[in-house]
Each structure stands twice: as C-alpha cells, then as structure tokens.
Structure 1
C-alpha cells in the first residue's frame, strides 16, 4: 500500500472532521513526499535499524553493519546519515564496489548528481555486476539532472539491457529520448513499458504499477 496509506489517512480525516486545513495537510504531503519515508518501509525496517545501530555503536570496525544501516537510511530518505556511515565503511574498504555504489546513490539523493557520478562509475569498473545494473540507472538519473542527455540515454540503455523487466528503466529511457528530440526512439521505449507490463507476473506488477501509471499520459501524447 505504501504511500497510499498517507493519502487515505488524510482523506479519511477530512471525511470525518470536514476541516479544510486537512486538505492543506494533504497538499503539503504531496509536495514534500520526496522527503517523507514510505510508511511500510518505516515499519519493516524499525527493528533491523535498532539492531544495526547497536552493532555500529559496539564495534567501530564493523563495516558490514554500517553498510546495512546505510541502506536502511537510504530507504528512509536520510541520505546524509547514510553517507556518514558509508564514509566510515569506505575508510576500511575504499575499493568495495557496493560501498561505492551506495555512496553514489546517497550523493544523488542528497542533490549532488555531479558528485554521484564518480563513485557510480568506479563501482561499475570494480564489478559490473554490482547492484544488478542499478548503478547505470542511478548514473542515468545523475546525467539527466545535469543535462548530459546523450550520456544519460547510454546509461539507461545499459540498464535495461540487464533489467529488461524494469518499467522505470524503459520509462526513463523514453523521457530522455523525448528530451533529445528522438521521437521515434522514444516511442519504441514507451511501447516497451506497456509490452513489459503485459508480460509481468502479478507480484512484479504490484511492485511497478506506479511506473505504468506514469507512462499512461505519455501514451496518449504520442
């Protein structure tokens, strides 16, 4: 259910109490959503976060606990806290591909796309299998944010080459191709979104339906 829990709670409160200020609260949530963690993520990671915090406090050299806690902080949209832990872990293992990848993710989510590119590229150089190709998607996001669209397109193409069932990858490839004026190629990428959606099993549809929904208006525009 994820973020819909927030929406439904605000709407239910408005229905029960009928106060217009509650609609303003809903609007504020929509605007600030990128900074608010998914309630299901919050619930799912609470006990693990406490356990990892204890491990980090007990053992300053435990890089694994720092990496795993950083992952949780990234899920909870706390990239600054994640980057602090990742810096500590990388002090012990500076060439670890996964730590480099997560550092790139943290910098990207902190609003530093330029700073994200270095560790993402280095992670791929160290081990192309890191994150099952996700460093390419993150690099594409960073490059698109910087306006380096040709490079972003290449990164997204590399991502979908190894993650062909990712609606997010195909949709972002459509977006960057459209921004470059490559309308025929953009249309092919958009068609892949819907072809992939039809082929997905139910559990993957439940994970990716938001990207299918984002693509629907674009389908009508082409």
Structure 2
C-alpha cells in the first residue's frame, strides 16, 4: 500500500509516445490532465498486478461471506488502487466478524484518512496501536501524523512522526514529513535538522532501499533549498 517511485512514468511515456506518433500539440493536454489528477490515478503497475487477484478475492467472498481474510486483502488492494471508499466498506464488513483486529482497525483508519475524514480516522488508528503496538510496523503512527497534519495539529503530528521514526529510522519519508510539520509549527531550526537527518540517513542505507525512497530524497533536497 505504500507509494515508492512507482511506475507513473509509464503514463508520461505513453503521452509523449502518442505526441510523437500524431505530432499534434493537443495530445500534450493529456500531460496536464495527468499532473492535475495524479493523486487520483493508480500506479499502472498496481492495476496490472492486482487485476487477477481482485477477481479471485471477489469469488472467495461470494463463496464464503464470512471470509474475513479475503475482505481484508481486497480492501488492501482497493487502497492501493486509490479506492478508499470501497476499501472502507469491506473493512467494516470484516470487522463485523473480527472487531478486535489491530490490522482491520489500522485499515479502517487509513481508509477514513484517504477519504478525507481525517478526524474520524484518528480513533481507529489509536485503537489499532492499543491492541498491537507493532501493527503495520509503525504505519499507524505515520498515517496518524498525516491526518493530524491535514487538521493543522502540527505538534501532535510531530509526535506521531517521531513515534513512526522510532520503528522506521531509515524512512526518508518520515524525516521529510516531520521536517514539514516542524516548519508548519514555526520551528525552522528543527525543520532544518530533520532534513539534515534525512540526508544522513540516505548516506547510510543500502542501494536497494535508496531506489525505493529516491522520490522522498528528491523532496528532501528541494525542501532544504526552500525551508
């Protein structure tokens, strides 16, 4: 469910390919549309990778409506495909049979956050951590930080991101987000320190981890010029 570099470049490649074939500037309008709608368009690799899996999970649910695991897995796919409303419905159905699942509570909070219900998302995220502090390897804290940032509660967001980084110290995303939260809270020096920590972390992590986080490192470098 986490975004890394992704394969969105395939969309841009397709647009430029079409422009090269038809040689008409109107095709480039698609580039502008793609940039504007980027947050609502799923990664093309996610679409391809999950196509067959969706059908299989739907069949499992139809055959056994009590199948909590299938509903959970399908909800995860819908979140990857940027369909949080559909994911939330499945999570709520699954929780009718397993209300105390930390993972389902986390997914509910994530889906609510993705649908723009940031305040409502906080309750399930806190409950998830209370049930199992290890749920999602700290992801509940990251999502809570994102929700709190959207609500303008920047000091609380800083605390959430710090807790996330306790479990994911090599996350460039975490360092960048806590830097932005410090900046929005008016803490300029702390923001700069967090970005420097992002650079130090980048120097220490292995190559395969760098490839996954290169987008966040690019943001860190840009923010160091701006903040």
Q: Could you say which structure has the greater relative contact order, defined with CA pairs below 8 angstroms and 6 or more residues apart? A: 2
- Please tell me whether residue 219 in structure 1 is matched to residue 224 in structure 2: yes
DSSP-derived class of the 1:92 partner: coil
Tell me the equivalent position of 2:54: 49
- Please tell me whether residue 39 in structure 1 is matched to residue 31 in structure 2: no
Structure 1 alignment gaps of length 5 or more: none
Tell me the equivalent position of 2:120: 115
Structure 1 length as normaliser, TM-score? 0.97
Match of 1:195 among 200, 203, 217: 200
Tell me the equivalent position of 1:161: 166
- Please tell me whether residue 174 in structure 1 is matched to residue 179 in structure 2: yes
Q: Distance in 2 between matches of 1:122 and 1:111?
A: 19
4+ residue runs over 4 A deviation = none
DSSP-derived class of the 1:147 partner: coil
Q: Distance in 2 between matches of 1:21 and 1:167?
A: 38
1:115, CA displacement in angstroms?
1.1
Tell me the equivalent position of 2:209: 204
Q: How many residues align?
A: 222
DSSP-derived class of the 1:54 partner: helix
Q: Distance in 2 between matches of 1:210 and 1:64?
A: 32
- Please tell me whether residue 14 in structure 1 is matched to residue 6 in structure 2: no
1:15, CA displacement in angstroms?
2.3
Tell me the equivalent position of 2:137: 132
Q: Distance in 2 between matches of 1:217 and 1:207?
A: 18
Tell me the equivalent position of 1:146: 151
Structure 2 length as normaliser, TM-score? 0.95
1:154-199 CA-to-partner distances (Å, cap 9, x unmatched) read 0001001110111111000000001111111111110111111122
Match of 1:86 among 81, 85, 91: 91
